[in-house]
């Protein structure tokens, strides 16, 4: 399929945390995988491109899941009466140990990827397990799906059962180096490796220092013409595959739970803080070490300042923080202070992979925090949550999360009448749109006509439609999506 085409529909994107841009009945142009812009009238120079007509549908940038765990999808929604450390020992580690067996991993990872494909997520940063073969299998599946991803083989060499724990720091570093070599040999276009120390309690000082050295070594191969950070604009010509930076980024967990934080103090007494411990090991941001830290619920002011100075992305995982009774991160202050923030579903602390749901949970948690903890920190709005879910997380990949010219063309087409939705969201929506099935030959699923809404009400604005997609889980309304101009399809 050509990666140059035009989408027609109601275009909605986030410009800044509080600002939405809307073009009703507009045109979104893709040229060789990159956006050429969003227009109310189609410029003459694009008139020859194929027009894919989704009139009446809402078209938004793809949603980004900045933190989740693929092997935990299988037991989501269980063990939720425990707090983090007990939950890890009793649920997570025994389950992750099973991924040593590819016969177990294959159907589990196929289910995980199929669910991602079905929803509005276009990019994901994901943990696998310590196992190299299963991690490569997950990467193969994600690559075949067309989604863009960072995938991390987990490192952990202490405080975990022998069935899962890597036997030594040296063995962990050796298998990580081999995994990186095999990843490079597979020539993935949209699937990239990311170094993944689970968190400090599970990683010895020797392992952490070794991973820091490995990260530094990876960035030393970046030439002047290559990009050193996923957040830098792509220097590749439009027809080339998405750029793959030579430096390998980092993802981990930081400051999630009070007992965990106390434990890190005991394990790393020399470090000035939990965040500083990562920084001391060379695993916390900077121009050649793009880093995602999940949670950051209890950052001290010095830690927040360090994350800002190092340009670290915070993956805010509100549902997980609620389910494991961890706390509520002060996202409002992070936004106000100019830190980088995106959203994570954090399965299986979170119960599912919908980023629409992650937006809703973020807003709800912020409302409770405002009401019960600190009335100076205003709750998140729907527009702000949408910003975090698109540009906030998308910036980890570079120019991702918007429709401006030069951005990678990630787009999701949402039909609130989609019959696959258990409760179609159009029940109170206008009836002006004709059946999309007749106009959407590229739809991932054929749509049956849904012309007669039983409860027609006043027309909703695109912003109101977005708000309802957030609160009523818009994943069920996805009829088509694109990543860097390529259509995402089931594996």
Binding region for Zn ion (CB under 5 A): 294, 346
Q: How far is the CB of 294 from Zn ion (least distance, A)?
A: 5
Q: Which is nearer to Zn ion, 260 or 473 (CB)?
A: 260
Least Å distance, CB 54 to Zn ion, is 35
Nearest distance from C-beta of residue 401 to Zn ion, angstroms: 22
CB atoms within 10 A of CB 114: 13
- Smaller CB distance to Zn ion: residue 346 or 384? 346
Nearer to Zn ion, 219 or 362 (CB): 362
Give 11 or 126: the residue with its C-beta nearer to Zn ion. Answer: 126
Q: How far is the CB of 314 from Zn ion (least distance, A)?
A: 13
Q: Work out the number of other CB atoms within 10 angstroms of the CB of residue 202.
A: 23
d(CA 324, CA 200): 19
CB of 20 to Zn ion, least distance (A): 30
Cβ 67 to Zn ion, closest distance in Å? 6
Nearer of residues 346 and 475 to Zn ion, judged by Cβ: 346
Q: Which is nearer to Zn ion, 22 or 258 (CB)?
A: 258
Q: Give the shortest CB-297-to-Zn ion separation in angstroms.
A: 12
Name every residue whose Cβ is closer than 8 Å to that of residue 47 and which is 6 or more positions away in sequence. Answer: none
Nearer residue to Zn ion within complex by CB, 247 or 320: 320
- Degrees to nearest 5, angle at CA 167 with 166 and 172: 50
Residue number with CB closer to Zn ion (346 or 408)? 346
CB of 131 to Zn ion, least distance (A): 17
Structure tokens at 30: 């893709």
């Amino acid at each position: 399929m050509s990666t140059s085409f035009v989408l027609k529909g109601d275009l909605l994107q986030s410009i800044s945390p509080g600002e939405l841009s809307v073009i009703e009945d507009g045109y979104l142009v893709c040229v060789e995988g990159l956006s050429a812009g969003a227009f109310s009238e189609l410029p003459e120079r694009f008139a020859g491109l194929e027009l894919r007509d989704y009139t009446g549908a809402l078209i938004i940038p793809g949603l980004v899941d900045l933190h989740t765990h693929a092997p935990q999808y299988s037991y989501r929604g269980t063990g939720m009466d425990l707090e983090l450390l007990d939950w890890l020992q009793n649920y997570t580690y025994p389950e992750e140990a099973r991924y040593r067996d590819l016969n177990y991993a294959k159907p589990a990872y196929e289910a995980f990827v199929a669910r991602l494909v079905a929803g509005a997520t276009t990019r994901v940063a994901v943990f696998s397990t310590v196992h190299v073969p299963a991690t490569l299998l997950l990467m193969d599946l994600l690559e075949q799906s067309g989604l863009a991803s960072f995938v991390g083989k987990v490192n952990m060499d202490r405080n975990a059962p022998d069935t899962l724990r890597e036997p030594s720091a040296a063995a962990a570093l050796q298998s990580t180096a081999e995994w990186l070599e095999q990843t490079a040999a597979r020539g993935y276009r949209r699937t990239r490796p990311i170094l993944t120390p689970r968190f400090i309690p599970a990683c010895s000082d020797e392992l952490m220092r070794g991973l820091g050295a490995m990260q530094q070594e990876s960035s030393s191969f970046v030439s002047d013409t290559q990009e050193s950070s996923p957040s830098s604009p792509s220097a590749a010509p439009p027809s080339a595959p998405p750029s793959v930076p030579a430096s390998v980024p980092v993802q981990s967990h930081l400051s999630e739970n009070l007992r965990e934080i106390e434990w890190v103090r005991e394990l790393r007494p020399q470090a000035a803080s939990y965040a500083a411990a990562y920084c001391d090991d060379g695993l916390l941001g900077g121009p050649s070490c793009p880093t995602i830290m999940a949670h950051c619920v209890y950052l001290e002011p010095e830690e927040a300042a360090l994350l800002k100075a190092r340009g670290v992305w915070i993956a805010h995982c509100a549902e997980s923080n609620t389910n494991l009774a961890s706390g509520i991160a002060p996202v409002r202050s992070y936004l106000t202070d100019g830190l980088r923030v995106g959203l994570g579903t954090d399965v299986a602390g979170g119960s599912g992979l919908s980023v629409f749901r992650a937006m809703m949970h973020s807003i709800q948690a912020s409302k409770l925090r405002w009401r019960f903890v600190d009335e100076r920190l205003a709750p998140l709005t729907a527009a702000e949550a949408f910003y975090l879910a698109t540009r906030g997380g998308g910036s980890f990949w570079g120019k991702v999360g918007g429709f401006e010219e030069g951005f990678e063309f990630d787009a999701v087409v949402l039909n609130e009448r989609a019959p696959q939705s258990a409760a179609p969201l159009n029940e109170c929506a206008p009836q002006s749109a004709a059946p999309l099935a007749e106009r959407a030959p590229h739809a991932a699923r054929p749509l049956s006509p849904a012309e007669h809404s039983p409860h027609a009400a006043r027309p909703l604005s695109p912003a109101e439609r977005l708000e309802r997609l957030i609160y009523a889980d818009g994943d069920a309304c996805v009829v088509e999506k694109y990543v860097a101009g390529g259509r995402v399809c089931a594996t």
